[in-house]
Every structure is written in structure tokens, then in C-alpha cells.
Amino acid sequence: MDITIGKPVIAGNDTIPGVIDSMIITLTVHGDSVKGVFSWLPGEKDKMTGTLNGTIKDSIVTAVYSYMA
């Protein structure tokens, strides 16, 4: 995962200055079981937060994401 910290970069005419979307994932691992929360937080509106439940094998998480719209 890449994490970028800093001010937004205006890459072209279609870029909105100052608006930053964020995605946050928090995982708890017990053995091969994984649970967590994933939040998509757009800079404008219509956020989405839900739960993750699944497994981890060879550092790969396979999970079901459940949310209410």
C-alpha cells in the first residue's frame, strides 16, 4: 500500500483544487481470520463505511465487504 501525505496536486483542468478523497481500512487478524472496517470518505459527499470479514493466506486478504447505502 502506498500512503501519500501532502497537499493536493492539480494535474489538469478536471482536477478540483483542495478536495481530497480518503480510504481508511482497519484490520484485526486472529490466526487466519480477518475482521475490520473500510471507509471511503470522498472530499465532497456520499461517504460509505462498512465491515470486512474474511481470511488471510500468504499475505492476501479475501473478505466480504458489507455496508448499508
Give 17-65 pLDDT, tens digit per residue: 666 788 899 999 999 999 999 999 887 788 899 999 999 999 999 999 9
Asked whether residue 68 carries a pLDDT value surpassing 80, the answer given is yes
Query: Left, alpha or beta for 14 (phi > 0: left; psi -120 to 50: alpha)?
Result: alpha
Look at residue 15 in the predicted model and tell me its pLDDT: 64
Please report how many Cα atoms fall inside a 13 Å half-sphere around the Cα of residue 12, on the Cβ side.
Answer: 1
Top pLDDT among 53 and 2 is at 53
pTM: 0.63
